[in-house]
Amino acid sequence: MEVNSKPYSTVEIYDVKKPTLSYWQIAALGIVPAVGFGVWYYFRTRKSKTNSSTQSNGVPAAVAEQILTSTASPKKEEVKSEVKTPLQRAQSIKDAGNVFFKDGKYPEAIRCYTEAIDLCPPSETDILSTFYQNRAACHDQLNNLEGTVKDCTKALELHPKYTKALSRRAKANQSLGKLSECLDDVTTVCILESFQNQKSLEMADTVLKELGKQHAKEAMQSKEPVQPSPYFVKAYFTSFPNDPVVNASDFEVVEINIPAVAGDSSSSHLEQAKSMLVRGRYEEVIPACSAAVEHGEGLEPEALLLRATMYLLRGQHSLALDDLDTIINSQ
């Protein structure tokens, strides 16, 4: 029986080869990734700083800093170093104006918006209208209502459906007392907003009421005096039994007590006025009273009182007040 010469418990030993890389090569393998990571981190940090050097509103940090520390508008040379086209320059200066506006520096903001308007190409009507509206907002804050209306009008010439400019011009015209112009603008705003803005609707309602009162007042001032009816006049005078000028009995005994013809030399002008009154010839009462006052017949207070009463009945209240004031001041 053949026996295996190698026992099962025997372990075979193999030669282990030594590493073929030198120590400097091993070191290089560790250094290269570290250097690469450092380069990546450097450029990433630099890019982040570059992005943060520009403000979120598009104004270069250096330019914005100089603008905020100066009362003048940004220099064109500084803006030009950041942007090239006229539109971009205008936008940048407009953004600087927005910074001034938020800080409450409205004159400085106006200068920025004005420069932006000058730089903006005329073909950019929508953008140009925004610049005008922004400048109008500055005038509004400074209570320059005429300037507000003027700039809003320019904005609307470029952009007729600019609701913000319409609303601002409407408010300015309301403050100026130009209610018709205000109503036109606020009505247009309501239509453009499909009558969904409650503030615009309330403003339209307020202006409409104010305009109605104004028209009513003007109509009353220009209204022709209306002669009252004989029945009303008689009822009015007979309701004052102790009237010092005309008694209720005068309307019952016209032919006995009062001359019938105006201009009768045997009677005073006041008596003639009373005669015309009780006979319903009201258009002759006031001239007769005026003649009595002018001739100084010694009955001026009575003549003034009767004339004031006739003015009152005809709706001429200011004239009635003048005569009553004269009577009171003469006492």
- Lowest mean pLDDT across 133-142, 145-154, 245-254, 290-299: 245-254
Residue-wise pLDDT for 232-253, tens only, equals 888 888 888 777 787 766 666 5
CA Rg value for the chain: 47
**Is the overall model pTM greater than 0.85, yes or no?**
no
pLDDT digits (tens, 9 = 90+) for 5-31: 444 444 444 444 455 555 555 555 556
Name the DSSP class of 58: S
H helices within the chain, ranges in order? 23-52, 61-68, 76-80, 86-102, 106-119, 125-141, 145-158, 163-175, 179-192, 198-222, 230-238, 254-257, 269-278, 285-295, 300-314, 317-330
Distances (CA, A) of 137 to 44, 95, 151, 185, 280: 42, 15, 9, 17, 63
Say if residues 129 and 137 touch (Cβ distance below 8 Å).
Answer: no
pLDDT of residue 269: 87
Report residue 114's pLDDT band, with 50, 70 and 90 as the boundaries: very high
Percent of the chain topping pLDDT 70? 68
Cβ atoms of residues 97 and 116 within 8 Å? yes
As a whole number, the mean pLDDT across the chain is: 78
What whole-number distance in Å separates Cα of residue 243 and Cα of residue 246?
A: 6
Confidence of residue 262 (pLDDT cuts 50, 70, 90): very low
Whether 144 contacts 174, CB under 8 Å: no
Poorest-pLDDT segment among 57-66, 129-138, 222-231: 57-66
Instruction: Give per-residue burial for 227-258: e unless 16+ CB within 10 Å, then b.
Output: ebeeeebbeebbeeeebebbbeebbeeeeeeb
Between 55 and 35, residue with greater pLDDT: 35
Token pair of 103 as six digits:
């800080």
pLDDT of res. 55: 43
Q: What is the pLDDT of residue 84?
A: 67
Contacts of 195 (CB under 8 A, 6+ apart): 201
- Cα 302 to chain centroid distance, Å, stands at 53
> Greater confidence, 288 or 41?
288
List the chain domain ranges. 86-222, 230-253+266-330
Cross-strand partners of 60: 54
Longest pairwise C-alpha distance within the chain: 188
Amino acid (one-letter) located at 330: S
Q: Record the tokens describing residue 57, joined without a space.
A: 């509103």
Question: Are 313 and 233 within 8 A, CB to CB?
Answer: yes
CATH topology of domain 86-222: 1.25.40
Per-residue confidence band for 167, with pLDDT thresholds at 50, 70 and 90: very high
The three-class DSSP label of residue 35 is helix
